[in-house]
Chains A and B, each alone.
Chain A
Amino acid sequence: DTGVSQDPRHKITKRGQNVTFRCDPISEHNRLYWYRQTLGQGPEFLTYFQNEAQLEKSRLLSDRFSAERPKGSFSTLEIQRTEQGDSAMYLCASSPGRAGDSGANVLTFGAGSRLTVL
């Protein structure tokens, strides 16, 4: 297993354009998380999935952000009508997250997708 993969690693776009990021989690992991991180800050929670079900979406997120995990495997995060304030590193993480699992369910992060909005 190659771990959590994210694509693209870097994206430069103009304000107002739409962008989409893809995350491929570790194959046996049921839970998938999206975070946003800016320089000098910790990861900010965006949303997470249990298999294909989106369990929670941050209230801080505007309607321009949407995420899907249609078959419970890979996930996409789309940002519509990008703004300069969207410039950040978008991190994806996955964890085993099996039902009834009382263990740590440690998150494994991907390398991230860096977005620059001009």
Chain B
Amino acid sequence: GQNIDQPTEMTATEGAIVQINCTYQTSGFNGLFWYQQHAGEAPTFLSYNVLDGLEEKGRFSSFLSRSKGYSYLLLKELQMKDSASYLCAVRDLQGDKIIFGKGTRLHILP
């Protein structure tokens, strides 16, 4: 079976840094994605990790530890437009099925 856990909601202040954690238990693993979804819109791709370590892309970074079944998304210099849901998703080892967590709703306060 597959299980992906992330906090339901988080709140942070504009200009600050926030870390959104994701833990997963899957029968196979072939990569982890982070997507951003604004209310009423489709998810959009943020990052992809398949090897352990940190991937940095501008204000956003994503970390993976395969041995711990753990990832986090780090958002720096928060802006109001970063208010959205952040979805952690894992790709199965066999085939290319991609399973999403329930998402973390991030609220940014001025």
Contacts and interface: CB of A to CB of B under 8 A. Distances in A.
Given A33-B98, A40-B102, 5 more contacts: A42-B87, A43-B43, A43-B87, A48-B95, A108-B45
B57 interface: no
A42 B102 contact: yes
Interface in B87-107: 87, 89, 91, 95-103, 105
> Which secondary structure dominates chain B's binding surface?
strand
Nearest to A45: B99
B97 A106 contact: no
B42 A110 contact: yes
Interface of A: 31, 33, 35, 40-45, 48, 50, 55-56, 91, 95, 97, 104-112
A44 B98 CA distance: 10
A70 B31 CA distance: 29
